[in-house]
Structure 1
Amino acid sequence: MRIPVPTRRLPGAPDALTGLDTDEVLARRERYGRNDVRGTARRPALHTLREALGDPMLWFLLGTSTLYFALGERTEGWGMLLAVIPLLGMDAFLHHRTQASTQGLRSRLAARATVLRDGREVDVPAEDVVVGDLARVAAGEHFPADGLLVHGEDLQAEESSLTGESLPVRKRPLERLPPGEEPAVDGSHWGLSGTRLLTGTAWMRVVFTGQDTLYGGIVRSARGEARARTPLQQAVAHLVAVLVGVAALLCAVLAFVRWRQGFGGMDALLSAATLGVAALPEEFPMALTFFLGAGVYRLARRQALVRHAVSVENIGRVTCICSDKTGTLTEGRLQVARLLPAPEVSTGELLRAAARASREEGGDPLDAALLEAAASAPSPETGGAREATFPFTEERQRETSVVREGAGLLVASVKGAPERVLDLCALAAGEREEWERRVTALASEGRKVIACASQTLDAAAWRGGEPERGFHFLGLVACEDPVRAGAEAAVRECRDAGLRTVMVTGDHPRTALAVARRLGLGGTAPRVLTGDALVARLDDAGRVPPVDVVARAVPAQKYALVKALRREGEVVAVTGDGVNDVPALQAADVGIAMGGRGTRSAREAASIVLLDDDFGTLVRAIAEGRQLFQNLQHCFLYLLLVHLPLVSTAALLPLAGYPLLYLPIHIVWLELLIHPTAMLAFQESARPGRLATVRGRVPARFFSRSEWATLLLVGGLTAVGLVWAYDRSLSAGHDVAHARAVALASLSLSSAGFAAVLTRLRTRTSRWVCALTLAGSVLLLQWPPLATRVGLHPLHVHDWVRVLAGVAVALTLLALARVDRPATRAPRPSGAVTQGAGPHPAATGAPPPR
């Protein structure tokens, strides 16, 4: 990564160890602003409320509650009115979460800074650092802004939370600035806001502050990314709007026609009111809320904490996963992976030498990994007094320690870049070539390789300098960031299920390729692109190229990838645990943070938090999301199948001059059957085992054209059967109460039958609900005291036979149409990934391993 330096911001030569005076500080603060990543103030609460009031679902609930109050149904009216509260709070919650993300991002910023002003070092709040300041950063401290490193030795920085780089990054002071007005300077010369210095003491010339820093850009992305309503929300709102419009029109027409037919004003009002209660689609938003809540509960049981309920829907429609590597697919720490000791050297001796040349206090993850491995060796290091340490530098590329092991005996141990350590040892030409070949083989696997050597010194003859020759070569140590347990199986499961998976990391392409191969990502030949190459391809072709791994990716490039995938129609889930993942988490359809290792900002920006940091939990969450969509689809299909004959007969028969088919009490009874069935019978959980293969994207709409055709056919046939049964009963000389009982019997049995066919009675709840519906209906219709009280007459045997025959025909058609079959895969856009196809691009060259 190379960052341009606007030289006009510098007060002089960047390497001049001079600070600013008070007047310069004030002038530069006026010109460039304060070192504050927050930017503009929060939106006022009134503005948030105004946005919430633009939701048509809110106005539907208000109108529905008003109508219920007008009809005297106070319980339903209060229920609809209370449902307004979560909708009003939704935008406020999302706004609060965005602000919380911004506050979480600030948690990794330096609180205070040491700067050189007026010729002396002063401690100031980090927000008071200005462009041009000369700041001193000690080991363990965060960089207060983005700036050029102008002085320091043995500098290493931890940048995993910002760039995704899992290993410490070596930093070097900039000797001189390249020519030009805005020369590009390599990232190794920069200290970046939001990152931490691990070793050494650095002097930094501040170039960018506040929102101009790389960290500030992340905050802007997190704050500016708006979350659109999900397709499920849009579909429900559209469906409700259509049903409300149709219901209002039918009520008005029915009232007018009944009045013109001479039935009187009271009959006209009663007809319209009954039809209105039957036709109001309050079940749909209620079902959506209930099912999403059930999905949240189920995912929580699977260790996935849902922070935004509609994400339960979105995760079921995911077609592409952009996963961070460090801390998500890997454990985010170094460990010793391979030991190649020299002949006649034991692995314990090799590890002890590596541990002697390591330091506990430096914070270097490589040292920590070597010390941990040495401690678990069969013969752990007992330790002697350390006489001298010669630390690692970019020029020397090695670290040497001299340890006293007895009276008059010293042992010098060295570890470092293999080519440097080999230079210190006397090896035959063929022997050295063999070790260099082994180094290349280990490095090609993406491992960090170091070499170790030692020699014995005469304490009396040693003069305190670092030995430069005469070392005995001990062997090679290869370290790696291990793949998480279960990650390989989860990646394979995603691939088998047709989910596109792209690993995005800040690591070197060679390291990323090795991890991808261990995971099985992309098959046998993962395709790797650097972040710069990806952006160039996006700019040239406008489409996402075939890629399995994006290496050397910075936050803006990960964000651009997510946006490009969404433009191509992918439903994108992004996993991550660091600050660098925040923009992509916000831009994705589903942002998924790791709860254990994840930063606060990543958790706040995400829609779902995996509490166990297990990538496999994501697979199970996707399965639950897909099951939720299917459950909700079946629920809505059931509601429409029941309401279509109910509403059509409630409207058409009175329009045709017949007596009212349903009294208000009958509508209440039917709703008592419909509501529990809709809410409880369709709560099937995802089946255990492998994620089901999906041969096409999960549709954003509820029903396909064939499903709409099935709905109209079965619902229409049921309505025709009701009209025929009602007319036949009246023509046969039966009274209206008997004819109404026939119609209610048909609807009640149809309700239970539709639920049984759609659920296939797979769950205990669905079986109980259908059984209780049938038992309650028979009791209501056939027990004379109860039937008479609600204005019905018990049915005869031949009535039940006709009802059962009509219902059986409708259920047979529904069962034939609802045979589950895999969807046909829609063709992917050109450039989409086909797992395991084609060679990967050649990775760029890597620096010599240390």
Structure 2
Amino acid sequence: MRRPIPADRLPLLRTDAGLGLSDDEASARRTIFGPNRIAERPPHSGAALARDTARDPMIWFLLLTGLLFMLVGDYRDAAILALAIIPLVGMDFFLHRRAEVSIEALGSVLAASALVVRRGQRITIAAEELVPGDIAIVEAGASFPADGLVLSGKGVEVDESVLTGEANPVGKTGLAAIEDSLGIAEENWVSAGTRLLTGKAFMIVVFTGQDTLYGQIVQTAMAGPTGQTRLQKAVLGLVRILLAGALALCFLLAAVRLWQGFGLLDALISAATLAVAAIPEEFPVVLTFFLAAGVVHLARRRALVRHAMAVENIGRVSIICTDKTGTITEGRLSLSSLLPARGTDENDLLRAASMAAQSGAHDPLDAAIAARAPPLDPSWSLKRLYPFTEGRRHEAAFWTGGEGCGLLVIKGAAEEVIAACDLAPDERQHWLGEIGKASRRAEKVIGCAMQETSPSPPAEEPRGGYKLIGLLGFADPLKPTARDALARAGQYGVKVVMVTGDHPETAAAIARQAGIASDPAIITGEQLEAGLADGAPMPADVFARVSPSQKKEVVAALRQPGAVIAVTGDGVNDVPALREADVGIAMGLKGTRSAREIADIVLLDDNLGTIVDAIAEGRQLFANLKRSFAFLLMIHIPLVLSAAAVPFLGYPLLYLPVHIVWLELLIHPSSILAFASRPTGKPVPAPEPNFFSAPEWIVIAATGALITGAVILAFLGALDLGIGQARAAALICLVSALGALTLLLSQGGKVPAAIAGLAWLSTGLPLTPVAAWLHLNPLPAHLWLLTFGMGTIAAAACLMIKMASNGRYGGRKLDLSRS
């Protein structure tokens, strides 16, 4: 994956391939650039695990309740609760390590050693000792130890799937000379972590350690996003409200139990059990887990997240506002047509265009002209440059010849150059027509003109009086992936708006070729300014003849209620637009540092398809989170209501502390592991402005109420058999509902099936010797089947309610089951 090479690093790449670096050179560069190592997150220490454990209210609940049992002499129950802490801590450790391993695995593909040329000898060194300018030799089957350029090699094919996700081998060729970044093609570049499949490659190291593409991915994933999202703040606010309500309900229940004459111990245990059942600690845990997972998944998609808000917002994007050049098109201009004016030929036109080019600008357009232009007469001398400005949209150069005459040459936007030339009305119309013809061929058209003057350069460039030399047309082909990316964006309901400085006809032709629109609506920069003055939104497919400084205004023009806008940018002038956008996306390959720092997401490959992939990841993340929260609500509603209602009615406690442990061991991992689905390729609808719609809240509340009724009915129905049987019936009913909800709300797969199976299997605990520890008694077979069926059917009613509700409530569909 090709990257621009900073000018200050080019001199470091002049290493003699046969000699390599000296020890002194390598040592000096290692001091500057550091070791070729990706910093790793320290392992999960016991102290860190202890801190996490101390924040878990379930642990405190078990400790305090166990202490109460000890105070009243019930040492068996106290020991059971103490032992119950072990599986809870083990589960926390497993979930923490699962998240960490997925991140740490990113850094596990780098080479441990490297064969290099040093002091004219081939030696093997630790890969972390590599520095920019080192000559490394990579054999088939080995991974490239750093980012760099292939100098020579035969039949070199590379597996880049670790960065691109594409399994097809990619051919690489050697680079004859390293002059500047413009001469480096994709087939010359190799990246750290990719693997050489065939051949033998000699490479020169350009970037090491955290400066490599792989290093950037790993660092972003390990650091995680900063700040809190709106959803995080909303969830924390909800948790505070529920916590306050739970505490009030607990005090009320304790008072009621004392009034009913059950004693202080029963009152305290009742209140503590209800508190733990009601405290929604899973919500922030699940949200944090999924946001962190989103960062890792987006990094694997070559989109580095810098702000947490982006993980939430990327899935909501409805409009992508993107540059044409380098994103939709290749950004590699080739001279495709020449139209010299009367009395001039193609060489005259090329020579004049090269004279107007800004020396050393490394502009692709100027490079294309220089490749075709004939040499200049050495008697001509450049005296002054008049740079391109957004106001004039052309550049000029003043030259003096051997005879003492002066010549002012201009090159720029074709219609601007035509306007500066002395032309008869019919000639002007002719040339404007030629501009339109070339533009409709999707060519970028520039004009060139000149004016003879005195030998002294004018203080200001003349506004008119030029003689037209002709027009030049440049082709900038579509990226091979552009049409597919735009088509996928359309499938997701995302509108792509192209922003370009090109002629409107050129922009329209590119938009048609790319599939943006068959008849694109176009707004020019002038129309944009006028429209903004009116204050009305301006929906368009293309914004043409727009300067970089106007991109912020483009965002304002597209702004409408409900729209979430993503903007791409790479330059300093794009910073205001990136800040204005809901999601600012900077180009990692060609973007400036200022653009990358202000952006929410940085693309590692400058590919429009990567943005669409990121939207898919964001939407899947949101869908997963929504299903997980629905699951938590549907299972917590009956847990809390039954835990409160039964003792309020004067019956013995439904749940004992050890029962809450059982349920916690099922609910906590289910809410995370069962709903961590990945994009399937099937478009996922954009999230609604509200997390749950009104119909979805109805489904959640109705399902929770049905399961609550089933649990209480199971308890009361078995109470005549004894309190141990009644509790067993209620728990079997609730756990069977939990298993059914896991399957119904997930997108299927082995993990949800395994979790549901484990939950259903645990309903057999009352039949085992463990039942005595759980204060449960076995149920008759018919009653076990009845209570199991009650819970499963009550949960399955969730799906039936959803199906019956689809198309109602204003036509809004419910999305709580499989998408």
SS of equivalent to 1:703: coil
In 2, are the aligned partners of 1:358 and 1:370 still within 8 Å (CA)? no
Matched residue, 1:712: 701
* Pair 1:253 & 2:263 matched: no
Q: State the Cα distance separating 1:564 from its structure 2 match.
A: 6.5
Q: In structure 2, which of residues 484, 489, 493 is the aligned counterpart of residue 494 of structure 1?
A: 489
- Contact 2:334–2:365 (CA under 8 A) maintained in structure 1: no
In 1, Cα distance between equivalents of 2:670 and 2:770: 22
Correspondence 1:442 to 2:433: no
Q: Pick from 773, 778, 781 the counterpart of residue 766 of structure 2.
A: 781
Of 608, 611, 622 in structure 1, the residue corresponding to residue 615 of structure 2 is 622
Task: Please say if residues 227 and 307 of structure 2, whose CA atoms lie closer than 8 Å, have aligned partners that are also in contact.
Answer: no
Aligned to 2:646: 653
What amino acid is aligned across from residue 489 of structure 2 in structure 1?
A: C
Equivalent position of 1:6 in the other structure? none
Superposition deviation, residue 261 in structure 1: 0.3
Query: How far did 1:613 drift?
Result: 0.8
Equivalent residue letter for 1:263 = F
User: Letter of the aligned partner of 1:271 in structure 2?
Assistant: S
Q: 1:528 to 1:563 in 2, by over 3 A?
A: closer
Higher mean Cα deviation, 358-367 or 663-672?
Answer: 358-367
Shift of 1:580: 1.9
The aligned counterpart of 1:526 is 521
Counting matched residue pairs gives 582
Report the alpha carbon displacement of residue 513 of structure 1 after superposing the two structures with TM.
Answer: 4.3
Deviation digits for residues 597-646 of structure 1 (CA, Å, limit 9, x no counterpart): 11111111111111111011111111111111111111011111111111
| Residue 770 of structure 1: aligned partner | 756
Once the two structures are TM-superposed, the CA of residue 322 in structure 1 deviates from its matched residue by 2.4
Which secondary structure state, in structure 2, belongs to the residue aligned with residue 447 of structure 1? strand
8 Å CA contact retained: 1:680, 1:765: yes
1:463-493 per-position Cα deviation (integer Å, ceiling 9, x unaligned): x9xxxxxxxx999641255544423332343
Q: Secondary structure at the match of 1:768?
A: helix
CA contact (8 A) 2:358 2:385 kept: no
Aligned equivalent of 2:740: 753
Partner of 2:317: 318
Contact 1:292 1:310 in 2 (8 A): no
Structure 2 counterpart of 1:736: 723
Q: Write the distance in 1 (CA, Å) between the matches of 2:398 and 2:592.
A: 36
The corresponding residue for 1:99 is: none
1:545-598, Cα deviation, whole Å (9 max, x unpaired):
232333455677543554575562322222212222222322322221111111
Mapped contact 2:339–2:470 kept (Cα < 8 A): yes
Mapped to 2, the partners of 1:446 and 1:735 lie a distance apart of 86
Report the equivalent of 1:478: 473
Q: Is the 8 A contact 1:293 1:309 kept in 2?
A: no
Q: Structure 1 stretches of 5 or more lacking a match?
A: 1-59, 84-226, 376-380, 404-413, 423-429, 454-463, 465-472, 828-850
Contact 2:574–2:595 (8 Å) recurs in 1:
yes
**One of 694, 715, 730 as aligned partner of 1:726:** 715
Are the aligned partners of 1:243 and 1:280 in contact in 2 as well (CA < 8 Å)? yes
CA distance in 2, matches of 1:341, 1:788: 98
Q: Structure 1's 252 and 337: CA in aligned 2 closer, same or farther, altered over 3 A?
A: farther
Distance 1:231 1:817 in 2: 30
Instruction: Report matched runs for 1:175-186 at 5 Å.
Output: none
Q: Whole-Å Cα distance in 2 between the matches of residues 483 and 709 of structure 1?
A: 48
Candidates 643, 662, 665, aligned match of 2:655: 662
- The residue that corresponds to 1:599 in the other structure is 592
Contact 1:322 1:573 in 2 (8 A): yes
Residue pair 1:448, 1:480 contacting (<8 A) in 2 also: no
Q: In 1, distance between residues paired with 2:332 and 2:809?
A: 43
**Aligned-partner Cα distance in 1 for 2:275–2:416:** 86
Long gaps (5+) in structure 2 = 1-53, 67-81, 96-225, 387-391, 402-408, 419-425, 456-467, 813-819
Cα offset for 1:361? 4.7
Cα RMSD after superposing both structures: 5.0
The one-letter amino acid paired with 1:809 is I
Query: 2:49 maps to which residue?
Result: none
Aligned partner of 2:287 in structure 1 is: 288
Contact 1:529 1:547 in 2 (8 A): no
Note closer, same or farther for the CA distance 1:336–1:795 as it changes in structure 2 (3 Å cut). Answer: farther
Per-residue CA deviation, residues 378-434 of structure 1 (Å, 9 max, x unaligned), is xxx8x799554678978999989999xxxxxxxxxx996899999xxxxxxx99998
2:785 alignment partner, one of 795, 801, 811: 801
Q: 516, 537, 543: which is aligned to 2:531? A: 537
- Give me the TM-score of the superposition, normalised by structure 2: 0.61
Structure 2 distance, partners of 1:61, 1:280, is 13
CA offset at residue 708 of structure 1?
Answer: 1.5
1:594–1:610: 8 Å Cα contact kept in structure 2? yes
Residue of structure 2 in register with 1:49 after alignment: none
CA deviation after TM superposition for structure 1 residue 798, in Å: 0.6
**Partner residue, 1:698:** 687
Q: Distance in 2 between matches of 1:596 and 1:71?
A: 58
The DSSP-based 3-state class of the residue aligned with 1:727 is helix
The answer to whether the 8 A contact 1:328-1:594 is kept is no
Amino acid at match of 2:758: L
Structure 2 CA distance, aligned partners of 1:740 and 1:67?
Answer: 20
- Any idea what SS the aligned residue of 1:329 has? coil
The CA deviation at 1:364 is 5.9
Q: Deviations over 1:254-300 (max 9, x none)?
A: 10100000001111000000111111100000000001111111111
Distance in 2 separating the partners of 1:629 and 1:367: 43
Provide, for residues 515-551 of structure 1, a one-character-per-residue CA deviation record: whole Å limited to 9, x for no partner: 44443334413221426x43543443x4312323334
The sequence identity of aligned pairs, in percent, is: 42
Equivalent-residue separation in structure 2 for 1:397 and 1:275 (angstroms): 76
Residue 208 of structure 1: aligned partner: none
Counterpart contact for 1:452–1:476, Cα < 8 Å: no
1:652 and 1:568 map into 2 onto residues whose CA distance is 44
Cα deviation code 1:208-255 (max 9, x no counterpart): xxxxxxxxxxxxxxxxxxx99644234423432342233122211110
Contact 2:329 2:479 in 1 (8 A): yes
Distance 1:420 1:291, change over 3 A: closer
Q: 1:823 to 1:649 in 2, by over 3 A?
A: closer
Code of the residue aligned with 1:593 in structure 2: it is A
Distance 2:294 2:809 in 1: 27
